[in-house]
Amino acid sequence: MFFGQIVIGPPGAGKSTYCAAVSEVLRKLKRKVVLINLDFANDHPPYEAQIDVRNLITVEDSMKHLGLGPNGSLLYCIQFLNVNCQWLEEEISQLSQESYLIFDLPGQVELYTHDDSVQKIVERLTRKFDLRLVCLNLIDSHYCSDPGKFISACVMCLSSMLRMALPQINVLSKLDLIEANGAPDVGLSYFVDTLSMQYICEQLSEDKLFAKYKKLNAALCSLIEDYSLVAFVPLCVTDNNLMMKLIKQVDKANGFVFGAAEDEETKQLKMMSSVFKQSDFHFEQSGPALEEIYLGNKSPVE
C-alpha cells in the first residue's frame, strides 16, 4: 500500500513549485517522499525526481518524429504512457512500502477534462499497488480578480473532480500574488467557499464583453451551485501555517491520518479526533488574518 498525491492544474499554477516545497516539509515530518515527474515537457523541475517519465518519452521526441505541436505532443505522450504503463509499474514496484508518492502531472487541462488516459493510468496503478491517492488541483489565485476566469476555473475543477474519480482538493495557489493583476473586489472567504455564484454572475452581466452571454453565464453558475462540490483551500508555499493546514486535509482525504497497519478501533478514534478538532475547521483558513495579510482585509459579500 502506498499513500500519495496527484498534482494537476493549468500551466503556471505552481504545480512543480508546490511539489518541491511540500516534499521538503514532508521529509521534515520523517516521511519517505518519492517525487514522480509525469510532465513530459518539464526537463528542469525544481526538485530531484526519483522517477522521471522523460526517461520513457519526451515532448521533443514526439514533436520531432511525428510532426506534432506542443499540445498534440503532450496528448500523444500521455496516451503512450497509458499503453506502456508497465514501465511506470516496474519503477514503482522497486520502491519501499513506506514511500509517500507525489505525482507531478502536465499543465494541459484537456488531459484531465477530455482525455481518459490519466484516469486509466491512475485506476491501473491503484489496483496493482493499492494506492491511496488524493488529487490536488492547483488554480492560480489571480483568477479571483477576473469573474470570467474564476467561473472557468470552477467549471474545470468540477469537470476534473467528476472524471478523475478521486478525493480532490482544489487549491488557490500563489496567494501572495493574488493582487498581481488587480485586487479582487470581495474578501477571500467568498472565493474559498463558493457557496453562492450570484455575485460572479452579476459581475459577468455588467461586463460588455460577456453581457450577451448572460443566459450561458447564469447556466454555468447554476451548474456549479447545483453540484455544490467546488471549494478551495488557499495556499502560499512560503507560508508554513497554510502548508501544514493543506497537508492535514490531504492526510484526511487519502487516509494517511488513519494509518496503514492499525486496528479498526484505533483508526476510528483517530478519525473522530481529526474530524472534530476545532483548529482544523474549514472556515479558519479564510479568516480575517489571511485577508489582512494577502488581500488588504477586503469585506466578504453580504
At 126-164, the pLDDT tens digits run 999 999 999 999 999 989 888 888 999 999 999 999 888
Residues (pLDDT < 70) of the chain are 260-289, 291, 296-302
> Alpha helices of 137-230 — where are they, by DSSP H?
147-164, 188-193, 198-206, 214-227
pLDDT of residue 286: 46
Note the pLDDT tens digit of each residue in 266-286.
555 455 455 445 444 443 444
Which pLDDT does position 200 carry in this prediction? 85
The string of pLDDT tens digits covering residues 196-215 is 888 888 888 787 777 788 88
Phi-psi region of 296 (alpha: psi -120 to 50; beta: other; left: phi over 0): left
Query: Model's pTM, two decimal places?
Result: 0.86
CA distances from 176 to 14, 44, 50 (A): 12, 24, 30
